[in-house]
């Protein structure tokens, strides 16, 4: 098979081929807006050419810093929220054994990468501190402004821990700041303290930033091959450069989603059959939801982790409201496999003994797909050949370029997120942050 295949054969009863033909002029226009910078949010589209036009000098510094962290730390604490951590977490899970986070020091070939600053839970932070224990650790704090509440709190805590353990000077050598190139609280602090710095590019929004230093440093520390990651994304950049739907699977995906949405399919489930792909779904949810959910419009992004979730909300998928569709992401070649043992046990598995679990998993996938289609749920399949860094880079770019087209097809700016500020404003008011006094009174009266 090719690096990535996109199967829409099970959509025949839901979307007529002629509908895609009718969408072609709009796709062509969306492509032109995206690539010429004439569409809304054009200032944040540098990710389009990023796989081939990234800063090679910084890339080499990322690799050097990763080696330094690997040499002196058993743990890397990555502090960030949203796009500042989801991509890295997804990639690290995708490229490693499922239980690698629980490996002992003797079993590890790279530091354990853990994540903080993505919630406001003291319980979580205390548990993480206990997990680190007496082990040597470093910190990668990721924030364009440096003032986002969740990561700012976590950074205060871990900066203090580093200074207590290594002294003020020693702590500085273990803090890596990924932030704005020119301004912001974190940039100012990093300059003053002498932290090694990496850049969050101005033209790349957080949810598209996994292929920048935001994602690349944690991925490299965890042992990921970031050269191959970028090579895969670069190959996809070439593969998905044609505006003709017949020649561009990513644009087909965007067009089919649009056609389904117009028919009332307003929820999309990204499906996987591998636990190491669960976090990829979390990255995808932000990419889709933050890009498209505006102006009272947008497909609601959700995930299904099968076959596990088939035993919880599978009933709803099969026979609930017919407003959802599924996109299955699967891998052709399993990373590893298990042969089902041959025994005399009366457990109803005699017909499967000697088979590979990957075969059973594949049949479960195919059988579920057919059952859901028969139940009125449109299904698409995105399949990559291998679960490695090259194919991950390719897959990431597939979804990124698709959502850019999809947003324009739906008449929204896919590159802003004005609604994200609403909860922050209320939180600041309730916490009594200076400058929010009037809002504080209003909100407390409502409560």
Residues annotated as catalytic are 290, 424
Structure tokens at 132: 């680190």
Q: What is the 3-state secondary structure (H, E, C) of the chain?
A: CCCEEEECHHHCCCCCHHHHHHHHHHHHHHHHHHHHCCCCCHHHEHHHCHHHHCCHHHHHHHHHHHHHHHHHCCEEEEECCHHHCHHHHHHHHHHCCCCHHHCCCCCCCCCEEEEECCCCCHHHHHHHHHHHCCCCEEEEEECCCCCCHHHHHHHHHHHHHHHHHHHHHHHHCCEEEEECCCCCHHHHHHHHHCCEEEECCCCECHHHHHHCHHHHHHHHHCCCCHHHHHHHHHHHHHHCCCCCHHHCHHHHHHHHHHHHHHCCCCEEEEEECCHHHHHHHHHHHHHHHHHHCECCECCEEEEEECCHHHHCCHHHHHHCCCCEEEEEEEECCCCCCCECCCCCCCCCCCCCCCCEHHHHHHHHHHHHHHHHHHCCCCEEEEEECCCCHHHHHHHHHHHHHHHHHHHHHCCCCCCCCCCHHHHHHHHHHHHCCCCCHHHHHHHHHHC
CA 190 to mean position of chain CA atoms: 27
Residue with tokens 């490693």: 96
Structure tokens at 185: 């609280």
Give the phi and the psi of residue 402 in degrees, each rounded to 5: -65, -40
Q: Mutual orientation of helices 226-239 and 56-72 as an angle, nearest 10°?
A: 150
Nearest to 323 by CA among 368, 264, 378, 255: 264
Structure tokens at 389: 């860094």
Nearest to 186 by CA among 220, 219, 224, 159: 159
């Amino acid at each position: 098979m090719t690096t990535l295949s996109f199967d829409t054969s099970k959509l025949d009863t839901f979307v007529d081929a002629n509908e895609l033909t009718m969408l072609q002029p709009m796709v062509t226009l969306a492509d032109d807006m995206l690539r010429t910078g004439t569409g809304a949010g054009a200032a944040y589209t540098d990710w389009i050419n990023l796989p081939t036009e990234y800063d090679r000098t910084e890339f080499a510094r990322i690799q050097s810093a990763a080696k330094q962290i690997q040499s002196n730390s058993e743990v890397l604490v990555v502090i960030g929220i949203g796009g500042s951590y989801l991509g890295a977490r997804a990639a690290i899970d995708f490229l490693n054994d499922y239980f690698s986070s629980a490996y002992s020091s003797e079993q590890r070939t790279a530091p354990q990468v853990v994540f903080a600053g993505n919630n406001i839970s003291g319980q979580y932070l205390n548990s993480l501190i206990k997990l680190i224990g007496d082990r040597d650790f470093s910190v990668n704090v990721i924030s364009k402004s440096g003032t986002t509440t969740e990561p700012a709190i976590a950074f205060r805590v871990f900066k203090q821990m580093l200074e207590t353990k290594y002294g003020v000077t020693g702590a500085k050598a273990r803090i890596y700041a990924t932030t704005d190139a020119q301004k912001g609280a974190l940039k100012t602090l990093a300059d003053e303290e002498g932290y090694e710095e990496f850049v969050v590019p101005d033209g790349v929004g957080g949810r598209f930033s996994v292929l920048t230093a935001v994602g690349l440093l944690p991925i490299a520390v965890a042992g990921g091959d970031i050269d191959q990651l970028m090579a895969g994304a670069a190959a996809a950049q070439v593969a998905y450069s044609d505006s003709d739907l017949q020649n561009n699977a990513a644009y087909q995906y965007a067009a089919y989603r649009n056609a389904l949405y117009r028919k009332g399919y307003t929820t999309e489930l990204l499906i996987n059959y591998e636990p190491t792909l669960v976090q990829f779904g979390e990255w995808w949810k932000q990419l889709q939801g933050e890009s498209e959910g505006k102006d009272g419009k947008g497909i609601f992004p959700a995930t299904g982790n099968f076959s596990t979730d088939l035993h919880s909300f599978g009933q709803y998928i099969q026979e609930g409201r017919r407003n959802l569709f599924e996109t299955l992401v699967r891998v052709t070649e399993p990373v590893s496999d298990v042969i089902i043992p041959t025994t005399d046990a009366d457990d109803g598995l005699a017909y499967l003994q000697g088979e590979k679990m990957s075969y059973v998993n594949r049949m479960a996938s195919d059988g579920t797909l057919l059952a859901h289609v028969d139940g009125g749920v449109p299904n698409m399949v995105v399949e990559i050949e291998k679960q490695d860094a090259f194919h991950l880079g390719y897959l990431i770019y597939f979804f990124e370029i698709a959502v850019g087209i999809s947003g324009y097809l739906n008449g929204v700016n896919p590159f802003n997120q004005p609604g994200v500020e609403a909860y922050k404003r209320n939180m600041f008011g309730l916490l009594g942050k200076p400058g929010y006094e009037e809002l504080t009174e209003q909100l407390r009266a409502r409560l």
